[in-house]
Amino acid sequence: MAGLLVGGLLVVSAVPRIAAHWIVLPASASLDAINEGRAISLEDAEAAFRSYSEALAWRPEDPTLREDRARLVSRLARLDPGAADRWKELAVEDLRQTAALSPGNGTAWARLAEAELEAGAPVQKVLPYLRLARLTAPRRASALLPQLSIVMRHWEAMPDEMRTHALAGIKSFWTRRAIRPLLVSIYLDAGFEARAAFRERLGENDRALRDFDRLVASSLDR
């Protein structure tokens, strides 16, 4: 009898997790596109957001669901300018909760820094988040890419050690074809000094720099 009771409790406790997993499956393509720097439509982003919100109703303390929804919300802030401020605030809220639920998640700290800046926070406010990202995920691409984007866009305000850390992964990133368009976007959003440092680092491989320049030129021709 006790075994049946325990088994029943385990099944009941698993229901929210299973339900949340199935609810977000249709949103996976939109999230993959965002993570790889590809475009998605406003309609697809909104549909994915609704899926994640429904899943969070089942599992509100799930840090992965919170983090993924924040990624969708950040994209919605660009796709839906009329409601951009509301989307940006929600992204910050989701990522603050993610970091609180999983403080060892370096990607969450890096994305929180990114979301805070998008919402209008000064650079000095997010430096502690970037340091926590570096401490907890020193080699994880999902944590390093947001840091690279932030450092490139705010080059003059960044301490030297953050510049060095952010640029260290560029050659490794370049070997991953799926994220090359994202590297181009990061580069084009940066100022002259940041671009020069980027090129110097990637230029340690002459062929990589030539291929990168062709990709940049191709993106500008569209």
> Cα dihedral angle (50, 28, 84, 159), rounded to 10 degrees?
140
pLDDT (average), residues 121-131: 96
For residue 116, is pLDDT > 60? yes
Cα–Cα distance for residue pair 120/116, rounded to 1 Å:
6
Section 182-201 average pLDDT:
95
Q: What is the pLDDT of residue 17?
A: 62
CA–CA separation, 49 and 29 (whole Å): 12
Q: pLDDT-based confidence at 34, cuts 50/70/90?
A: confident
Terminal C-alpha separation, the chain = 68
For residue 111, the Cα-to-chain-centroid distance in whole angstroms is 5
**Span 19-26, average pLDDT:** 74
pLDDT at 145: 93
On average, the pLDDT of the chain sits at 89
- 83 contacts 45 by C-beta, under 8 angstroms: no
CA-to-CA distance for 207 and 192, rounded, in angstroms? 22
Whether residue 28 is predicted with pLDDT greater than 70 in this model: the reply is yes
| CB neighbourhood size of 16 (10 A) | 15
Torsion-angle region of residue 41: left (phi > 0), alpha (psi -120 to 50) or beta? beta
Any idea which residue has 């320049």 for tokens? 213
Q: What is the pLDDT of residues 63-107, one digit of tens each?
A: 999 999 999 999 999 999 999 999 999 999 999 999 999 999 999
Could you report the per-residue pLDDT of 52-71, keeping only the tens digit for each?
A: 999 999 899 999 999 999 99
Q: Residue 221 pLDDT > 90, yes or no?
A: no
